[in-house]
Amino acid sequence: MYKTLQPEGWAKPIGYANGVSARGRTVFVGGQIGWNKDCKFESDDLVDQIGQALENIVSVLACDGGGPEHITTITWYLTDRRDYLARLRQIGETYRRVMGRHFPAMTAVEVSALIEDRAKVEVQATAVIPD
pLDDT of 22-70, one tens digit each?
999 999 999 999 999 999 999 999 999 999 999 999 999 999 999 999 9
Task: Check whether 1 has a pLDDT greater than 80.
Answer: no
Q: Which domains does the chain have, with CATH numbers?
A: 2-129 (3.30.1330.40)
Closest CA to 73 of 124, 5, 111: 124
Q: Is 65 exposed, middle or buried (0-12, 13-18, 19+ CB in 10 A)?
A: exposed
Mean pLDDT of the chain: 96
- The confidence band for 131, taking pLDDT boundaries of 50, 70 and 90, is confident
